[in-house]
Amino acid sequence: MSGPGVQAIIPTYAEAITPSDTASNAFSYIYVGGTGNVVVVTEDGQTVTFTSVSSGQYIWLRTSKVTTATTATNLVGLR
């Protein structure tokens, strides 16, 4: 049995992320393909660094940017 709103959290769009300090990278989730740090700017404008994110992990946070300070690789944005 699934809970209410489960369909709302399943992404319907995905694209490879090229980190940028200026371009929009608005996503609801980020898949990390290669271990490293992921630096994002949230929808609210906060800069947050996720350190030592392992490959195969997801970051569940609405972002407006994935910055060039990001060292993780093979990132995929989902929304």
pTM for the structure as a whole: 0.88
String of DSSP letters for 13-74: -EEE----SSS---EEEEEEEE-EEEEEEETTS-EEEEEEEPTTEEEEEEEEEE-TT---EE
Confidence of residue 5 (pLDDT cuts 50, 70, 90): low
d(CA 49, CA 11): 23
Q: Mind listing the pLDDT tens digit for each residue in 12-64? A: 999 999 999 999 999 999 999 999 999 999 999 999 999 999 999 999 999 99
Q: What is the pLDDT of residue 7?
A: 59
